[in-house]
Each structure stands twice: as C-alpha cells, then as structure tokens.
Structure 1
Amino acid sequence: MKKIGLLFLGFCTQMIFAQATRFVYQVSMKPDSANRNDVKTETAYLDITPEKSIFYGEKRLQRDSILGRARQTGSFNFDRSQMENLRSNIDFTVVKDYKSGIKTFNSRISRDQYSYEEDRPMDWKILPETATIGDYKTQKAETTFAGRTWFAWFTPDIPFQDGPYKFSGLPGLIVKVEDAKGDYSFDLKETKKIAQIEDFSQRGNLVKVKRKDFENQSALFKKDPVSFMQASMNSRRGGGPGRNADPNQRKEMENRLKEETKKNNNPIELN
C-alpha cells in the first residue's frame, strides 16, 4: 500500500507540474540597419497552458525579480549596473488567449505601460518543404506581417498552434521563424515543464489603446524621446517627478535616450 501511495503521489505531483510548458527561444536581432554586423542575441520564453500563453524576455523576468525583492524588503540599494545589464530589446509581452483568440501586446513607452489588442490576421501559406530541426520534423510556412515576409518551421509533434512573439495559427508549434531579410529570428532551444506561467503585474499607469494609437505614441517617442518624457512628466502633479532633477543626471538621460533611439532604427514591425 505504501508503494502504491508513493506512486499515486508521484503521479499527482507530475500532473500538477505538467499544467504549464515553457519553450525557450534564442532570439537574434539586428536593430541597427546601419550596422548589420551588430547582432543582438537574447533568450525569451513562451509559457503555455491550455487556456493561454505569454511570450517575454528572460531579462524582463530577472529584472522584475530584483525589483520584486526590493519592494518586499523596502531596500532599493541594489547594484544599478546589474539593472543596466538587464536592459533588453525584448521589452514587451505578448499574451494569447486561446478561447477568445485575442492577442494582447504590452510594452512601455517612457514611464507608461501601454496595452493593445492585435487586430491584424496572420494568414499562413503552408509550403511543401520539410526539414529536421533538432529533434523535430518540421514543415515550412510563409506569411507577410507588419511589413516583413516571414518563414516559419512548425512541428505537429508539439500540438500547440502557437509560437514566439505574435506568431501562431499553424498546425503545430513553431520551432523556428525568421524574416526574409535575416534581421530577426526565433529558434527553439529547450522545452520544460513548469508549475505555472508567469503573471507580470503592470505597475504604474496602464494605458489601453488601439494599435494605431500605440504606434503613433511610439513614433513620437522615437522622434524626440526627451520632449516626450518631459511632456509625460509635466502631465503629472504639476510637473511630476523629475522636474527638479539633477542637471547632470538629466543630461545623461537625454544622451542615453537619443543614442538608444538612433541605434534602434530597424524594428521588428516596419509598418
């Protein structure tokens, strides 16, 4: 009876921890069109349950973990250079609700969190070409989305009609997807069971908008990030935080924002 009890306990434990699956992708990006030899590589996660999935960067998870511990202890004396090292090109999350079919994109512009529902369909053309990628037999598919042509390799061996970023809708998990210009690629590297998917709590002002409004705000920020941030701060409490900021810190922030904007001129979505 003891042996049966242990087996039953092990089975129950396995069922609990099998409720969510994490797919680990290596993401390669060329954010600066003027310097195509500068390839940024990061790790991202696609966490899946029977109800939904969420795609996000590993650095986002690490950064939120540090800030969460700081809030719990009330001590924010962590290593600032560590936080700088966790700055990421994957500064967004994509949540896909399987029941409703809604994809929700969340990202920060300046100090505010923005959220919109993706309103563009992703129409795939399944091609006859097949390939073995890692342990999986895959088939090729093609789509045009947000100004880029994308090629994906999916496997029916993993019965999730999902993939990294906003990609989904193929009869199996997307193991690899890349654009025709070779600017962006997502490659599956690892699969593992997890207890539950991550739930990122949105802190600060959450602004729910239409996609076009988000794109307009993002364009304004990229055109003049300093003026955008100043306008945002001035709209808060008669000037808001940072009105009397140290001039040297302000200048440093201005230079950093301008340099980042200059080097990130090749976004994943071109229109």
Structure 2
Amino acid sequence: MKLLRIFSLLAMPFVMAQQSTRFIYQATLTPDSTNTEKKTELAYLDTDGKKSFFYAENTLKRDSVMERMRATRNFDRSQMENLRSNLQFTIEKDLANQSLVYKSRIGRDQYSYNESPTFNWKILPETVKIGEYETQKAETKFAGRTWYAWFTQQIPLQDGPYKFSGLPGLIVKVQDSDGDYSFDLMQTKKIAEIQQPQTRGQYINIQKSKYADLEKKMRKDPASFISAQRSGGGGGGRGPAGGGGGNRPGMDPKQMQEMQKRMETEMKSRNNPIELK
C-alpha cells in the first residue's frame, strides 16, 4: 500500500509533463518447444501516459517498406522476408481503465478482441538495480504461466511490455518461470508522437474465446482454414458461417500451394504460445 501512495504522488507531475516516449525492449522467445534455440528481436512500447501501443520493431519496418513499394509500384515481396516477426500482434492499452485491444491476423483475415486482464501482483521484497533503474520484484499468474516482473518507481507509469500493467512503476523486465518468454528494457527515447502499425483493411472484433478457437483451427489445418476463409466460412465475424473474408479474388494454384506450405511450417513452429490458456 505504501508503494501505491508513493506512485500516486509521483505520477501526477509525470503525466502532466508527459511527452510521447518509446520504451525499447528486447524480446527473447521460445515459440517452438521442439527447438530450444531462442529467438530475439526488439519491440516498442510507445506511450503518451494515457494510452500505449506495443508491437514488434519489424512491424514498423515492414510498414515503411510497404509504403515505399506502393510509392514506387515495385512490389518485391523478398524485401519483407528478413522482417518477419514472432510478435505478430499489436496491443493498444487504455492506461486509465487498464483495458486493452489485441489485434492480429489469423490466416487471411485481421481480428481484434477487447480485454481487461486482471493481474493479481504479489510485490516481493527483493530489489535489484537493472541498468540505471532501481527495481523491485513482483509475481503473478497469467494465462497458464507464472510471471516475474521487475518494476521501477523512477518511471511512475503503470505499464509494461505485452499485456502487463498495474504495478506502481514501469516494468523494466518480465519473464515467465520456464524461461520461454522474457522482455527486457534496453533503451528509452522521446518521440514526436505515438506510432502505431498501419491498418490495412478492417479488423473483425470478436470475443477472446472465439479468437482462441480460430487460432486452434488454423494451427490444426492451415490449408482448410484458409480455404474456408476464402469462401466465407472459416472466420469469426461475417458471412453465413461466421466467415471473415467472404469471396476473395482468386489466387493462382501455385501461389496458393506455396502459401499453404509456408503457413503449415509456420504453425508447426509456433507450438509454445505465450498464453497457454
């Protein structure tokens, strides 16, 4: 309780003087349980103190490449290959209400769901200096994993990477107990304004449970799932069978086969999601 009082006193001048800030995290992930090789990439948490966006650095880079290709009318997809990310989502948080909107793509369609996750943080006595910040340890259980976070009151912002928030200070580091996922603050810098990944087309807003069901179907049989989306029967938001895509312009058989093969390989390598339930 004492920590929360300290935060409330510090937070007011911070929010009043708040400029847009980018917190750059290194994400270390093990998306494939059959391959212990860690994947690392950078992710951005952009905030103005009232709302924030969390997304992969490569997402912003891909947007920039796409803009350039549209301007030059030179659509060379090979330029995008090195910009693939294991963080294929954007999370927009309303910090005042501790609510968020999760956006991602499943197959050919874009989906979103609203969530107000509850983090029952247990603040522990352990403290440690991480970089330039004095931090304190906290623990919570979320989506089937036990998580440990280190937060700092030197940045009195109730936010952090991924969906994490609600501690009396910015989360500098958070990792799960199995070491499969961790996010570590690497750099902080001021930015002119909050950036958010470009939106191409509409998002289909559905319940989180429905989103999880669609992900399971996609993992189990990507080819059938995408085929159903193309005919309007495989998604979660529109169409007579809940399909999100409706009838789409045809893709030649070779392209379709290549896409299905790529999807199947990708799904097999994403068998250890950050949320287990």
Q: What letter corresponds to residue 268 of structure 1 in structure 2?
A: I
Query: Residue 226 of structure 1 aligns to which amino acid in structure 2?
Result: A
SS in 2 for 1:164: coil
CA contact (8 A) 2:95 2:159 kept: no
Q: 2:224 aligns with which of 227, 233, 236?
A: 227
Match of 1:118 in 2: 115
Partner of 2:241: none
Letter in 2 for 1:46: L
- Hey, what's the Cα distance between the residues in 2 that align with 1:101 and 1:168? 7
CA distance in 2, matches of 1:116, 1:254: 26
C-alpha separation between the residues in 2 aligned to 1:159 and 1:136? Answer: 12
Whether 1:269 and 2:266 are equivalent positions in the alignment is no
Q: What corresponds to 2:258 in structure 1? A: 252
1:193-204 matched pairs, under 5 angstroms: 193-204=190-201
Query: Hey, what's the Cα distance between the residues in 1 that align with 2:44 and 2:196?
Result: 13
What is the TM-score of this pair, normalised by structure 1? 0.87
Percent of pairs with identical residues? 56
The secondary structure found in structure 2 opposite 1:116 is strand
Structure-to-structure mapping, 1:61-210, within 5 angstroms? 61-71=60-70, 73=71, 75=73, 77-210=74-207
Distance 2:158 2:247 in 1: 47
Residues 247/53 of structure 1: CA separation in 2 closer, same or farther (3 Å cut) = same
CA contact (8 A) 1:95 1:105 kept: yes
Shift of 1:68: 2.3
Higher mean displacement: 77-86 or 118-127:
77-86
> Shift in Å at residue 239 of structure 1?
4.2
The reply on whether 1:27 has 2:35 as its aligned counterpart is no
Amino acid at match of 2:27: V
User: Matched residues in 2 for 1:238 and 1:210: separation?
Assistant: 20
3-state SS of 1:196 partner: coil
CA shift digits 1:196-254 (9 cap, x unpaired) = 01133422231001111111111111111111111111128974223xx3333222222
CA contact (8 A) 1:18 1:194 kept: no
Q: Which residue of 1 is the match for residue 41 of structure 2?
A: 42
Q: Secondary structure at the match of 1:169?
A: coil
CA contact (8 A) 2:229 2:246 kept: no
The one-letter code matched in structure 2 to 1:122 is F
Greater shift in the superposed pair: 232-241 or 187-196:
232-241
In the TM superposition, residue 122 of structure 1 has moved relative to its aligned partner by: 1.1
Distance 1:112 1:248 in 2: 21
Q: Is the 8 A contact 1:115 1:206 kept in 2?
A: yes
Aligned equivalent of 1:14: none
Instruction: Calculate the TM-score normalised by the size of structure 2.
Output: 0.86
Seen in structure 2, the aligned counterparts of structure 1 residues 105 and 193 have a Cα distance that, compared at 3 Å, is same
After superposition, the CA RMSD in angstroms is 1.8
Task: Tell me the secondary structure at the aligned position of residue 231 of structure 1.
Answer: helix
5+ residue gaps, structure 1, are 1-16
Larger Rg: 1
Residue 31 (structure 1) shift: 0.6
Query: Structure 1 246/129 Cα, relative in aligned 2: closer, same or farther at 3 Å?
Result: same
Consecutive unaligned residues in structure 2, runs of 5 or more:
1-16, 233-243
Moved more, 98-107 or 132-141: 98-107
CA drift of 1:153 comes to 0.4
